Amino acid sequence: MTDHVWTYSTDSGHLAGTDLTGWRVEASDGHIGKVDKHSDEVDDAYLVVDTGVWIFGKEVLIPASAVTRIDLVEHIIHLGLTKEQVKAAPEFVSDKHLADLQYREEVSRHYRSGGPFPGGTGAL
């Protein structure tokens, strides 16, 4: 992929090889869940966030570029997304979507429409 949506920003504090599983995830307006799975592969980095009961146990795929800061001491990942942006994201189903490039493009379009990505309308 050549899409920078799937890459951590250099100022996020991400350290390749750090296991983020179980870490707390905070949207710009509050807690949204915990990391269920993640990847830090070059040009294919993402978080799968379990939103728990907040939005009825839905898992969502969040591109790495949404990460604004990683607190390595408190084990908290901060996103440049609102709760509403995460809630409105396409649902993630691991065995169906992990390798589905069309789904990845749908996720990219969703976050670009209001997210902190190049061409998006969100602010960072």
Measured in Å, how far apart are the chain's first and last C-alpha atoms?
23
Check the CA dihedral 110-115-118-119 and report its sign: positive
Place of tokens 């983020």: 20
Tell me the pLDDT of the chain averaged across its residues: 84
Q: What is the mean pLDDT of residues 77-101?
A: 86
pTM above 0.85, yes or no: no
The topology under which CATH files domain 4-112 is: SH3 type barrels. (2.30.30)
The type of residue at 12 is S
25's enclosing H/E stretch is: strand 24-27
- pLDDT value, residue 46: 93
Q: What is the mean pLDDT of residues 59-79?
A: 95
- pLDDT value, residue 93: 81
DSSP string, 70-111: EETTTTEEEESS-HHHHHTSPB--HHHHTT-HHHHHHHHHHH
- pLDDT value, residue 99: 79
Q: What is the mean pLDDT of residues 4-32?
A: 94
